[in-house]
Amino acid sequence: MDPYTPLNIFLTVVKEHSFTRAAEKLYRTQPAISLAIQRLENELGERLLDRSGRDLALTEAGKLVYDCARRQENLQRELSNQLSELRNKAIGRLVIGANESMTFYLLPHLCQFRHEYPKIKLVVQRSRSTELPDHLAAGDVDFGIVSYRPDDERFDSIPIYTDHLSFVVPPNHRLAGRKTVSIKDLGMESFVGHNVPSPYRDNVIREFLRHKVTLNVDLEMPTVESIRLMVQAGQGLAFLPRLCVEQDLRQGLLNEIKVKELSLERTIYLVRVSKRPLGHAAKAFLDLVQKEQK
């Protein structure tokens, strides 16, 4: 793709948030970059950038043009990938969107895929589950991994894993020797919580409210990994996806206890745009996942 067309220059300016940095990246002078943007604005008959403030800001028309330019960039990249795959079936690029906890469910599939297709470049892009439909529709990712089936006819979803929520405590905790507890036994305990909204988090809060038990979240952390480590350090108890703590349970770093009133399972889905043709790399990954499911 020619990086010097007015539309691509505009895209670079927006991404770099600066005419100067865009000029450096494109090996052009700043006046040349400014002139290209002015020509694009004149051609479209719309102001695209608000230059009145300290930082560049997109106008409403600018936001529309930016979204279209980004889709065009993705389509161009997809074309380049597919042409490369036609020349050499072993080469391609696969991009999967997933948030931190969803990545755990991908690992066995990724290891097998890397073993079978070592020359395909594999990228797992961190994305919030709520943002993944937009990333899929824009072509930013080939697949998304989410814990819900999107209620949108644009997408196909395939169940790839079923997991449950695990209540974990450090091995020296007073409850560590118990196999089961009641939710009412947890009203005086201190919990390490996830400060990112999720269906699991909402369900736990709802169950504590339903049973009129206080949920004392005295420490909030941004990632599953940080929560797991804080529980190991004795800083509180937590509810975490079982797959994320399996190794800790095997090594005796955490203990799992069943909470009688809490039995939360979730299905993990691989999601893609249903009518978009799959490239070689994406088709190979989909075939591998479906084969493993059978």
| End-to-end Cα, the chain, rounded Å | 41
Q: What is the pTM of this model?
A: 0.61
Mean predicted lDDT score pLDDT of the chain: 89
3-state secondary structure of 9: helix
**Fold annotation for 6-62:** Arc Repressor Mutant, subunit A (1.10.10)
Over range 2-21, report the average pLDDT. Answer: 84
Q: Please write the tens of the pLDDT for every residue from 24-61.
A: 888 889 899 889 889 988 988 988 888 876 778 888 98
Give the model's pLDDT for residue 90.
61
Q: Is 172 helix (H, G, I), strand (E, B) or coil?
A: coil
Do 80-160+267-293 and 162-266 fold alike per CATH? yes
**Stretch 7-17: mean pLDDT:** 87
- pLDDT band with cut points at 50, 70 and 90 for residue 16: confident
Q: Is residue 4's pLDDT more than 80?
A: no
pLDDT tops 80 at residue 113: yes
Give the 3-state secondary structure of residue 203: helix
* Residues 100-119: b if buried by 16+ CB within 10 A, e if exposed: bbbbbbbeebbeebeeebee
Provide the token pair at 227: 């929560």
CB atoms within 10 A of CB 232: 15
Name the CATH topology of 162-266. D-Maltodextrin-Binding Protein; domain 2 (3.40.190)
115-155 tens-digit pLDDT: 988 888 899 998 888 889 999 999 999 999 998 888 888 99
Domain chopping of the chain, boundaries: 6-62, 80-160+267-293, 162-266
Specify burial of residue 177 (Cβ count, 10 A radius: 0-12, 13-18, 19+): exposed
Dihedral, 183, 184, 189, 194 alpha carbons, nearest 10: 40
pLDDT confidence of 89, banded at 50, 70, 90?
Answer: low
- Angstrom distance (rounded) from CA 87 to CA 233: 53
Tell me which of 28-37, 77-86, 263-272 is least confident.
77-86
The yes-or-no verdict on residue 86 having pLDDT over 70 is: no
80-160+267-293 CATH = 3.40.190.10
Average pLDDT (105-111) is: 89
Mean per-residue pLDDT for 161-171?
A: 93
User: Do the strands 120-126 and 92-98 form a parallel or antiparallel pair, or are they unpaired?
Assistant: parallel
Q: Quick one: average pLDDT of 215-219?
A: 95
Report residue 231's pLDDT band, with 50, 70 and 90 as the boundaries: very high
Task: Check the CA dihedral 179-184-189-192 and report its sign.
Answer: positive
- Chain centroid, CA 140 distance in Å: 11
Backbone angles phi, psi at 254, to 5 degrees: -140, 155
| Per-residue pLDDT at 111 exceeds 80 | yes
Query: What pLDDT is recorded for position 229?
Result: 96
- The answer to whether 144 and 286 have CB atoms below 8 angstroms apart is no
Give the pLDDT of residue 270: 94
User: Around Cβ 77, how many Cβ atoms within 10 Å?
Assistant: 15
How many other C-beta atoms lie within 10 A of the C-beta of residue 132? 25
Residue with tokens 């209540």: 167
Q: What residue type is assigned to position 243 of the chain?
A: L
Q: Which two tokens stand for residue 219?
A: 């420490």
So what's the pLDDT on residue 178?
Answer: 94
CA–chain centroid gap for 270, Å, is 12
> How far, CA to CA in Å, does 181 sit from each of 162, 165, 177, 178, 227?
23, 15, 11, 7, 21
Q: Which residues pair with 221 in a beta bridge?
A: 194
Q: Which amino acid is at 239?
A: F
Other beta carbons within 10 Å of 275: 9
